[in-house]
């Protein structure tokens, strides 16, 4: 399962938000069911971020939301972003990586 979250950041808070999100992504690596994560930014909107998280199941992702490392970063991130983030779940039908084609 992949979840994509879109957020708008408060002006001036972008560097701190990015650093805190890097901490969260590092902590997620050790969670059961975590597959991959990406932090993306539109080239024309430097105040926006997209978080792409891939988990074995939605239940794994939900369990991660109860972890102290997650709840600590949530408080910090929320203070740096504008209300109204959007989340949408996707079922992964197929995935391809560059390393899949390397012998």
Q: Is 62 a domain residue? A: yes
Q: Is 70 a domain residue? A: yes
Q: Is 103 a domain residue? A: no
All residues at 6 or more sequence positions from 88 whose CB lies less than 8 Å from its CB, including other chains: 3, 4
Label residue 101 by pLDDT band (50, 70, 90).
low
pLDDT of residue 83: 81
Tokens in use for 88?
């949408």
Label residue 100 by pLDDT band (50, 70, 90).
low
Report the CATH number at residue 33. Answer: 3.30.70.100
Q: Is 84 a domain residue? A: yes
Q: What is the pLDDT of residues 16-43, one digit of tens each?
A: 999 999 999 999 998 999 999 999 999 9
Range of the domain at 36: 2-90
How many domains does the structure of the chain reveal? Answer: 1
Q: Is 101 a domain residue? A: no
Distance (Å, whole) CA 20 – CA 25: 9
């Amino acid at each position: 399962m992949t979840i994509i979250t879109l957020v708008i950041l408060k002006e001036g808070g972008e560097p701190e938000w990015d650093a805190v999100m890097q901490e969260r992504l590092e902590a997620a690596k050790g969670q059961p069911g975590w597959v991959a994560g990406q932090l993306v930014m539109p080239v024309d909107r430097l105040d926006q971020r997209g978080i792409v998280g891939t988990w074995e199941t939605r239940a794994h992702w939900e369990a991660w939301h109860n972890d102290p490392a997650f709840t600590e970063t949530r408080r910090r991130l929320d203070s740096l972003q504008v209300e109204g983030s959007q989340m949408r779940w996707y079922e992964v039908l197929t995935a391809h990586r560059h390393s899949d084609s390397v012998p």
